[in-house]
A and B are shown apart, each in its own frame.
Chain A
Amino acid sequence: MKLGILYSGGKDSNLALARAMEKEEPVCLISICSKNPDSFMYHTPNIELTRLQAKAIGLMHVLRETEGKEEEELEDLKEAIRTAISKCRIKGVVTGAIESVYQAARVQRICFDLGLWCFNPLWQMDQEEVLKETLKKGFKTIISGVSAYPFDESWLGRRIDEKAIEELLMLRDTAKISPSGEGGEIETSVLDAPFFSKRIRITEALGSYKNYSGRYIIKEARLEDKKQ
């Protein structure tokens, strides 16, 4: 079945893509660039990076902008999915939703209206398992945004490796944050994965941080061969 992946470029949408590749035929990535940095629906830091990620993965990319007004964002998503149907003949959509009934129900309704299958292969997954599976699958993931106590500026741009996972799990126990960022505490960007034909090298980035909220803004990045 040809599928479109709702793609933010973070660990969840990449893990959903990896699972979809094992079972069906992903043919395109669908990304929404929200002008609202506080969007409930869309992961916003570094969404432009998705263009480079799509090139690295070798899938067609549908990228649409939205003003980010609640509920209007959904019409923009519906239009983006319609474009994917028309250009790529998709029969279904895949999301990286884990716990958010808010996000999942809205995408399910859009798919139902458009007569598409909807797959959520990370649904209800244990957050520790999500983090460990991305590492096990060989993802190179960085933290591109934080928005909760006690994340300080040192987390911006940090690679999610075993040590970072250990610390995120400790924060789960001590500060009640969701370690995979399900509550929006962290946002991530994947720079390499086994299904990337090239990896992404960041050549210029800027950290912007204040009061436990910050973004790692990637100003310039390029694809490079994996052998380098």
Chain B
Amino acid sequence: MIRPQADQKGTIAIIDLTYKKCSLSSYEFTAPIEEITRKAGYGTEIIHHSQADELVSAKKHKMAILCGTALMDNSMKDWIRNLGWVLRSSMPVLGICAGMQLICAIHGCRLEEKHEIGLRKIRITEKSRLMSQDIEGYMLHSISVTSTAGSLKDPKRPEREGIGSMIRILARDSRCIQAVKVKGREIYGVQFHPEVRNPQIIRNFLRT
């Protein structure tokens, strides 16, 4: 359902990655993102990932945000199947937590089981429109992006992208990659949950 706003700046597709439509997890991972987006002056449409391929459209939606999901939710293969539009469409996309994992997976990155829960310090490796200084972010993930390239990397400089990587690393913490951008596209990913302590990051994305 589209929720328009008076004088709205456009409609943002809020993609619910949780385990089923209108799930108990949607309150926790989707609703706060929608709230931040609406307070920034945008109309919103929450779309479950199972319907995203047919419902997300550049004609209706200015941008899309892929929200996170519960730690126990391992529906990655379903997300990948339902989110081919991320590659086909030219609209700006922000992936949060599981959303970032999806963006990285479809661009050839390596994901591993590595969990983080709670607040952690995040170090900027490249300034971007999302973030320009180090922050503290709230983590809630059981899978992490540990390499942005499926190809060779220099073991002496592991922080550098591998040859041919389509992903630029924007931030890290001591254990894994925390923010990325797809080269040549306005597609971003953050591993942490900005809706908890850093809503400005979402607002910065919306200004894309």
Interface residues of A (CB under 8 A from B): 19-20, 23-24, 92, 94, 101, 105, 108-109, 111-112, 115-126
28 A/B residue pairs, CB under 8 Å, sorted by A: A20-B24, A23-B22, A24-B24, A101-B119, A101-B138, A101-B196, A105-B118, A105-B138, A108-B71, A108-B117, A109-B118, A112-B71, A112-B115, A112-B117, A112-B142, A115-B72, A117-B70, A117-B72, A117-B73, A118-B70, A119-B24, A121-B28, A122-B27, A124-B31, A124-B32, A124-B35, A124-B196, A125-B31
Instruction: Give the Cβ gap from B28 to chain A, nearest Cβ, in Å.
Output: 4
Find A119's partner among B28, B117, B142 (CB 8 Å cutoff).
B28
Interface check B23, CB cutoff 8 A: yes
Q: Would you call the interface of chain A mostly helix, strand, loop, or mixed? A: mixed
Cα distance, A108 to B196, chains bound together (Å): 15
Cα distance, A89 to B195, chains bound together (Å): 32
Instruction: Give the Cβ gap from B195 to chain A, nearest Cβ, in Å.
Output: 6
Instruction: Give the Cβ gap from B18 to chain A, nearest Cβ, in Å.
Output: 10
| Cβ-closest chain A residue relative to B140 | A108
Cα distance, A115 to B27, chains bound together (Å): 21
Instruction: Give the Cβ gap from B137 to chain A, nearest Cβ, in Å.
Output: 11
Find B27's partner among A19, A108, A112 (CB 8 Å cutoff).
A19
Q: A94-B24, A117-B71 are in contact. List 19 more A-B contacts (CB 8 A).
A: A20-B24, A23-B23, A23-B24, A24-B24, A105-B118, A108-B140, A111-B71, A115-B72, A116-B72, A117-B72, A118-B70, A118-B72, A119-B25, A119-B27, A119-B28, A121-B24, A121-B27, A124-B31, A126-B35
A residues near B197, Cβ cutoff 8 Å: 101
In the complex, are the beta carbons of A119 and B70 less than 8 A apart?
yes
B residues near A92, Cβ cutoff 8 Å: 72
In the complex, are the beta carbons of A124 and B71 less than 8 A apart?
no
Interface residues of B (CB under 8 A from A): 22-25, 27-28, 31-32, 35, 70-73, 115, 117-119, 138, 140, 142, 195-197
B residues near A112, Cβ cutoff 8 Å: 71, 115, 117, 142
In the complex, are the beta carbons of A109 and B25 less than 8 A apart?
no
Instruction: Give the Cβ gap from A77 to chain B, nearest Cβ, in Å.
Output: 15
A residues near B138, Cβ cutoff 8 Å: 101, 105
Instruction: Give the Cβ gap from A128 to chain B, nearest Cβ, in Å.
Output: 12
| Cβ-closest chain A residue relative to B136 | A101
A residues near B27, Cβ cutoff 8 Å: 19, 119-123, 125
B residues near A20, Cβ cutoff 8 Å: 24
Cα distance, A121 to B23, chains bound together (Å): 10
| Cβ-closest chain A residue relative to B23 | A23
B residues near A126, Cβ cutoff 8 Å: 35
Cα distance, A19 to B26, chains bound together (Å): 11
Cα distance, A12 to B23, chains bound together (Å): 19
| Cβ-closest chain B residue relative to A105 | B118
Instruction: Give the Cβ gap from B140 to chain A, nearest Cβ, in Å.
Output: 6
Find B117's partner among A105, A115, A120, A122 (CB 8 Å cutoff).
A105
Cα distance, A45 to B70, chains bound together (Å): 31
| Cβ-closest chain B residue relative to A117 | B72
A residues near B142, Cβ cutoff 8 Å: 112
